[in-house]
Amino acid sequence: MRKHGIVRILAVLLTAAFAASASCAQALHLPPHEKVVLKNGLTLLLMRKQGVPMVNFYAIVKTGSAADPAAEAGLASVTASLLRKGTKSRTAQQFAADLDFIGGSFDAGASGDYTGISAEFMTKDLDHGLDLFSDALLRPTFPQAEVEKLLAQSLDGVKAAKDQPEAVLGPYFYGYLFGTHPYGRPSDGDEISLKKINREAIAKFYETYYTPGNTILAVSGEFNPTEMKQKLEQALGGWQGKAATAVAIPVAATVKGTRLLLVDKPDATQTYFAIGNVGTTVTDPDRVAIRVVNTVFGGRFTSLLNEALRVESGYTYGAESEFDSRKMPGAFLIASFTKNETTVPAIDLALKVLEEFRKNGVTPEQLASAKSYIKGQFPPSLETSGQLARRIALNEFYGLGDDEVNELAARIDAVTPEIAKRVIEKHFPAENLVFVLIGKASEIGPAVKKYAARQDARNISDPGYWPPEGQ
Amino acid sequence: MNKKSARIAASAAFCALLLCALSARAQDEAKQFPVAAKTLKNGMKVLVQPDHSIPNVALYVFYKIGSRNEHPGTTGLSHFFEHMMFNGAKKYGPGELDKVMEANGGSNNAYTTRNLTVYQDWFPHSALPLIFDIEADRIEYLQFDPKKIASEREVVASERRLRTDNDNEGLLDEQLWATAFIAHPYQWPVVGWMSDIQHWTMEDLKHHFEMGYSPSNATMVVVGDVTPDEIFGLCEKYIEPIPSHAPPPPVTTVEPPQLGERRLVVRKPAELPLLMIGYHVPQTNSPDFYALNILRTILFQGESSRMYQRLVDQDQIALDVSSYVEPAFDPTLMIIEAQPKQAVDPAKCEKEIYEELERVKSAPVTDQELEKAKNIRLVEFYHQMRTISGRANTIGTYEVFFGDYKQLFEAAAKYGAVTKEDVQRVAKAYFGESNRTVATLLPQNEEKAKP
């Protein structure tokens, strides 16, 4: 395999990052779709899309792990995972048997801003599928035995993830960057927080936030829209719930100065590192220009970062940068990995590329190339009904219109060298940098001290990510 | 390339197999998107499936050369070569291929398995002539710049550290294959042993190019916003003039029958143990392939599967249990992997897995399980067919492993014909003690320094 980059690192933490996907080709428009708000407040988005004979559901409950109590990180995720683990009419085992028999799928999980619930069925099984989907969404019972089982599994899941440094670079970085801000908590919880979650908290979280007025449901695929509306009205129209209060997420301040967290993994032969600071929001007016300039900097194979750290020097298999933009400012980060011996040269080089980018900006050729690249790669990101359902649901959630897709090519074309220059100065950090390294501390520890005024250290086996328990 | 990617390839072949497996609807769709085929004068087979739903194209080139064509001392060469195919030819010099492709809205990747090296281009229709120019240039005129060889060697070493040396799953998988095969080249890792990565020479690369990269050893699949005439015209201009030569020599080594269980242990710092069990199974074009896949679905797929119900849900001794088989020209392995929960002895997971395997050997699966497995396969087929890249990979995988993409239209009957008795028969045939290799990773943590 030739390419990999940090996509997997980010995929682990950006379970639902809207900003990660690219933009649009001239010819591409969203297929026609319809918005219906039911009397109970549930927002429905219907899009007929021909292709394979399947239907995709994507629901957004407008509350995510940012609403987890500080000591109970993972509550939103655990609640979502338990939806299918026992309902008023099915045990967890019956749900699995019914779902698998028709080849259906049902997945639910939480990210910082929201909870996402996706399901997919063959069109011929639509009635059965909708019954399963609405059963899990509207009538979960959270049986105690299933709660205990899932919490134990989630805890071991954290341990399994720590055996793959790449998989936990994200949670350590977010913890260290955001600290006690809600975006600093691991969405899937950790070894400490999962032990504090109980059934009562889960049931309360569900009751408070899983309400029709707090939910958007997008449906895309092969179906008859008139029939579909009737079926959805019938299945979901009776759903009741008190209006949920929106959870306020504060704006995280940019970290001032430099700080470095070294997570010791004594058997590591390679150092995994992330460097960054607080980034921006999904709705930032600069978002399209940011996407274009980040494509040049670290968003594709021929980006400045990958050219320097991989193509020119061979330090790594991949180096990338990403704006994980959210409802409130998320993270900007550079991420890569390199063997223990080249840890310092590789980080030095990444910093040099950043500094030169801030100084020199982009050339007209780089700008043109990035625009063409984003537009050319965009259509396959909206090829399937699953991708489309998720996209229109997220647009609705973040208050973005169809223009976000339909006008994107024009917006990309409108990014001038002057705009690019301004956006780089504003959004790419200079002297304020947060570093997280996972690697063999006894080998790399002394040399990496030079990067930051403040130093912190942990062992990967220590429970939790950051901050340590009690701090 | 690593096992994860192998799994992707495996599922592609599997879905292709299932094409129309169980449904007339799928057959209709195969007809709705007809494949146009042409063999060029130099022997390259070209398959084209037009689909104008998005203005993009997926172009895949499958070379029938992989790590099974290598030898001790130069293991991993196919994969390293895959990297070098992006590092400069005559018209597009080092670094230019990627720059030109991305500037024209395209992107690319490639993967290597034990059997194949596959190159993938994804691009807007407007870049079509450029992509052919690039592909022709590197097939005919690949160059080997010593500086690029040196830096790419480091890139591949980093890839190995990423996927194998610092990844317990990758590490244990490598040890398992190395133990399960004692004669056949499937025994070494696709990425190569680290010491081989450090010692390939320019001559090795040149020899590999001459051996494996004849147009007659390749299949091109193009799916998307194109017409067959357009593609065949471009092939005539760019690809057909490239001369053909002898394909790689056949792999003649046959793995002798395994005469008893093999076991291995890896001890290293880790949070959790890991268990993998490999059973020798036939090559992809074997008639038993269909029944084995149905059996794997019943045992491993979904939360209602037998293994999940037993190990994860009921007894709660594992976090996860799964299986995979990669498409293969020669008899290969079916691997079962279990992630034991903390403080659970992997031997306990092993015992329960064997008990479940015995259960499918001693009594037939139910009608409902058989029907469920067929429904799941059908949905997986749709998953593969819903994107242009999925279809390109499926059509090509079918063509190379079954010798003719059209066999995809016969798979329906073969899958539909799988009975409960077939499932029981293959379980008995392959899940024997003597046929298995068991690999266990046990955490061995250093004493932490006490403050």
Positive or negative CA dihedral for B118, B124, B126, B130?
Answer: negative
Residue in chain A closest to B446 (alpha carbons) equals: A266
Query: Chains A and B: how many Cβ contacts under 8 Å?
Result: 216
Confidence of residue B54 (pLDDT cuts 50, 70, 90): very high
The verdict on B276 and B164 lying in the same domain is no
Name the residue with higher pLDDT: B348 or A25. B348
Query: pLDDT confidence of B29, banded at 50, 70, 90?
Result: low
Contact A48, A222 (CB under 8 A): yes
C-alpha distances (whole Å) from B102 to each of A5, B119, B307 are 16, 16, 45
Q: Say if residue A467 is preceded by a cis peptide, omega within 30 of 0.
A: yes
Tell me what pLDDT residue B132 has: 98
A314: chain B residues, CB-CB within 8 Å: 150-155, 158
pLDDT band, very low/low/confident/very high, at B445 (cuts 50, 70, 90): confident
Calpha distance A216→A214 (Å, rounded): 7
Give how far A212 is from chain B: nearest CA, Å. Answer: 28
B285 and B205 in one domain? no
Please give the pLDDT value at position B414.
80
- Residue identified by tokens 């306020």 is A248
The domain that contains B29 carries what CATH number?
3.30.830.10
- H helix or E strand, kind and range, residue A420: helix A417-427
> Which of B28, B271, B305, B444 is the best mutation test for A, with the most CBs of A within 10 A?
B271
Could you tell me if B205 and B266 lie in one domain? no
What's the confidence (pLDDT) of residue B384?
87
Burial annotation A416-437 (CB, 10 A radius, 16+ → b, else e): eeebbeebbeebbbeeebbbbb
B83, B269, B271 member nearest A160 (Cβ): B271
CA-nearest residue to A84 within chain B is B303
User: What is the span of the domain harbouring residue B61?
Assistant: 3-239
CA quadruple B230, B232, B233, B238: dihedral sign? positive
In this structure, the number of other CB atoms found within 10 A of the CB of residue A203 comes to: 16
Cross-chain residue pair A122–B166, CB shorter than 8 Å: no
**Residue B69 within a domain:** yes
Q: Chain-centre distance of CA A161, in angstroms? A: 17
Which residues have CB under 8 Å from A261's CB, separation 6+? A172, A176, A435, A436, A437, A456, A457, A458, A466
* Pair (B328, B396) in one structural domain: yes
Residue among B353, B441, B351 nearest B169 (CA): B441
Q: Is residue B240 helix, strand or coil? A: coil
Give me the residues paired with residue B262 across strands: B437
Of A70-84, B20-34, B116-130, the poorest mean pLDDT is in B20-34
Instruction: Provide the 8-state DSSP code for A261.
Output: E
Q: In this predicted structure, what is the pLDDT of residue B9?
A: 32
Mutate to test the interface with A, among B53, B57, B78, B161 (most CBs of A within 10 A): B161
Could you tell me if B79 and B208 lie in one domain?
yes
Same structural domain for residues B290 and B172? no
Residue B102 is nearest to which of A165, A266, A302, comparing CB atoms? A302
Within a domain: residue B329? yes
**Dihedral pair phi/psi, residue B36, rounded to 5°:** -95, 135
Banded model confidence at residue B415, pLDDT cuts 50, 70, 90: confident
From CA A292, how far away is CA B134, in angstroms rounded?
25
Task: Quote the pTM value.
Answer: 0.93
Q: Which stretch of DSSP H or E encloses residue A229?
A: helix A225-236
Contact between residue B263 and residue B435 where contact means Cβ atoms under 8 Å apart: no
Task: Give the pLDDT of residue A243.
Answer: 82
pLDDT at B420: 97
B398: closest CA among B101, B158, B62, B166? B62
Q: A140 burial class (0-12, 13-18, 19+ CB within 10 angstroms)?
A: buried
pLDDT digits (tens, 9 = 90+) for B7-17: 333 333 333 33
- Scan for tokens 């008859």, then name that residue: A224
**Residues of B numbered 100-129 whose beta carbons fall under 8 angstroms of chain A's beta carbons: which are they?**
102-112, 122-124, 127
Q: Which two tokens stand for residue B358?
A: 């015995």
A128 close contact with B: CB closer than 8 A: no
| Per-window interface: A 375-394 vs B, CB < 8 A | 375-377, 379-380, 382-385
- pLDDT confidence band for B4 (50 / 70 / 90): very low
β-strand partners of A333: A276, A322
- What's the pLDDT at B413? 75
Q: Residues B77, B133: one domain? A: yes
B151 and B279 within one domain? no
Residues B17, B293 contacting (CB under 8 angstroms): yes
The alpha carbon of A46 is separated from its chain's Cα centroid by a whole number of angstroms, namely: 24
d(CA A370, CA B366): 55
Q: Of the candidates B239, B273, B289, which is a domain's last residue? A: B239
Tell me: pLDDT of B256 over 50.
yes
- How near does any CA of chain A get to the CA of B379, in Å? 6
Cβ-in-10-Å burial (0-12, 13-18, 19+) of A294 comes to buried
Q: Which residues from B are below 8 Å from A163, CB to CB?
A: 168, 270-272
Which pLDDT value is given to residue A15?
Answer: 29
Indicate yes or no: CB of A93 within 8 angstroms of CB of B313: yes
To which residue do tokens 């249990």 refer? B321
For A165, the closest of B99, B166, B272 (CB atoms) is B166
Q: What is the pLDDT of residue B31?
A: 59
Which among A357, A340, A197, A368 has a CA at the least distance from the CA of A273? A340
Residues B164 and B308 both lie in one domain: no
To the nearest whole angstrom, how far is the Cα of B83 from the nearest Cα of chain A?
6
In the prediction, which pLDDT does A27 show?
55
Residue-wise pLDDT for A180-198, tens only, equals 999 999 999 999 999 999 9
Are the C-beta atoms of residues A136 and A87 closer than 8 Å to each other?
yes
pLDDT above 90 covers a percentage of chain B that reads 84
Distance of CA B365 to the CA centre of its chain: 28
- B306 in a structural domain: yes
Question: Contact B166/A270, CB-based, under 8 Å?
Answer: yes
Amino acid at A328: M
Chain mean pLDDT for chain B: 91
For residue B240, the model assigns a pLDDT of: 97
Nearest CB neighbour to A269, from listed B165, B271, B312: B165
- Backbone angle region of B302, left / alpha / beta, with phi > 0 → left and psi within -120 to 50 → alpha: left
Assess if residue B52 is contained within a domain. Answer: yes
Q: What one-character-per-residue DSSP string does B48-107 give?
A: EEE--SSSEEEEEEEES--GGG--TTSTTHHHHHHHHTTS--SSS-TTHHHHHHHHTT-E
Residue B115 confidence (pLDDT): 98
Same domain, B402 and B351: yes
Does residue B331 share a domain with residue B298? yes
Based on the number of CB atoms within 10 Å of its own CB, is B256 exposed (0-12), middle (13-18) or buried (19 or more)? exposed
Q: Is residue B112 situated within a structural domain?
A: yes
| Domains (range + CATH), chain A | 32-236 (3.30.830.10), 258-459 (3.30.830.10)
Residues A309, A312, A316: CA angle, nearest 5 degrees: 35
Tracing tokens 């959790």 back to the chain, one arrives at: B272
Residue B360 to residue B98: CA distance in whole angstroms:
50
CB contact under 8 A, B167 and A2: no
The answer to whether residues B417 and B294 touch, using CB atoms and an 8 Å cutoff, is no
What backbone phi and psi angles, to 5 degrees, belong to B223?
-130, 135
B7 inside 8 A of chain A by CB? no
Interface of B with A in 30-59 (CB under 8 A): 53-56
3-class DSSP state for residue A231? helix
Alpha helices in A260-363 (DSSP H): 287-298, 304-306, 343-360
Q: pLDDT 10s per residue in chain A (471 long)?
A: 776 544 334 433 332 222 223 333 345 899 999 999 999 999 999 999 988 999 999 999 999 999 999 999 999 999 999 999 999 999 999 999 999 999 999 999 999 999 999 999 999 999 999 999 999 999 999 999 999 999 999 999 999 999 999 999 999 999 999 999 999 999 999 999 999 999 999 999 999 999 999 999 999 999 999 999 999 999 999 999 888 888 999 999 999 999 999 999 999 999 999 999 999 999 999 999 999 999 999 999 999 999 999 999 999 999 999 999 999 999 999 999 999 999 999 999 999 999 999 999 999 999 999 999 999 999 999 999 999 999 999 999 999 999 999 999 999 999 999 999 999 999 999 999 999 999 999 999 999 999 999 999 999 999 999 999 877
Q: Which two tokens stand for residue A358?
A: 């801030």
Of B239, B271, B299, the residue at which a domain comes to its end is B239
Mean pLDDT of B90-108: 96
Among all chains, which residue has been given the structure tokens 């992989």? Answer: B66
The CA–CA distances, whole Å, from B430 to A252, A333, B281, B289, B436 equal 58, 49, 6, 12, 9
Q: Is A341 an 8 Å CB contact of chain B?
A: no
Q: How far apart are the first and last CA of chain A?
A: 42
Whether B8 contacts chain A with CB within 8 A: no
Q: Tell me how many degrees the CA angle B266-B270-B271 measures, rounded to the nearest 5.
A: 135
Residue A134 is encoded by which pair of tokens?
């609405």
What pLDDT score was predicted for residue B28? 56
Window 245-274 of B, Cβ < 8 Å to A: 268-272
What is the dihedral sign for C-alpha B431, B435, B439, B440? positive
The answer to whether B102 contacts A100, with C-beta atoms less than 8 Å apart, is no
- Report the pLDDT value the prediction gives residue B23, as an integer from 0 to 100: 45
How many angstroms separate the CA of residue A309 from the nearest CA in chain B?
10
- Check CB contact of A442 with chain B, cutoff 8 Å: no
Same domain? For B227 and B295 the reply is no
Q: Which two tokens stand for residue A329?
A: 């400012």
Distances (CA, A) of B165 to A164, A316, A334, B75, B173: 11, 14, 23, 16, 11
Query: Cβ contacts (< 8 Å) between B316 and chain A: which residues?
Result: 149, 152-153
Nearest CA-CA distance, residue B177 and chain A, Å: 19
Which residues does chain B have within 8 Å of residue A338's beta carbon, measured at their own beta carbons?
Answer: 158
- DSSP-derived letter for residue A30 is P
Q: Does B198 touch chain A (CB under 8 A)?
A: no
Alpha-carbon gap, residue A89 to A412, rounded angstroms: 50
Number of domains in chain B: 2
A161-198 in b/e form (b: 16+ CB < 10 A) is bbbbbbbbbbbbbbbbbbeebbbbbbbbbbbbbbeebe
Contact flag A160-B368 (C-beta cutoff 8 Å)? no
